[in-house]
Amino acid sequence: MTKQLKPCPFCASTNLFIDDVDYRFNKIVPEEQRGIYNAVVCYKCNARGSEKDSENKAIQV
Ligand SMILES: [Zn+2]
């Protein structure tokens, strides 16, 4: 997996990873929105991008 991630908007670190969030069995989430979401997370300052329903959308934040 070689995705080009933008540097962190808070600390400019490029030490980022894409986190998976599993809402498939989350009863708080409406049924039509359940699924696996991706968010970009910064290792350095722990900043977290918004959760999207695909990696490609998550890295465009
Ligand atoms: Zn950061």
Domain assignment of residue 11, yes or no = no
Dist. CA 47 → ligand 1 center (Å):
5
Output Rg (C-alpha) for the chain, integer angstroms: 12
Domain assignment of residue 24, yes or no = yes
In the prediction, which pLDDT does 2 show? 61
How many domains does the chain fold into?
A: 1
Dist. CA 6 → ligand 1 center (Å):
11
Domain assignment of residue 47, yes or no = yes
Dist. CA 36 → ligand 1 center (Å):
23
33: left (phi over 0), alpha (psi -120 to 50) or beta: alpha
Q: What would the pLDDT profile of 2-49 be if each residue is shown by its tens digit? A: 667 889 999 999 999 999 999 999 999 999 999 999 999 999 999 999
Domain assignment of residue 55, yes or no = yes
Domain assignment of residue 49, yes or no = yes
State the amino acid at position 4 in one-letter form. Q
Q: Which residues span the domain enclosing 29?
A: 16-60
In the prediction, which pLDDT does 4 show? 78
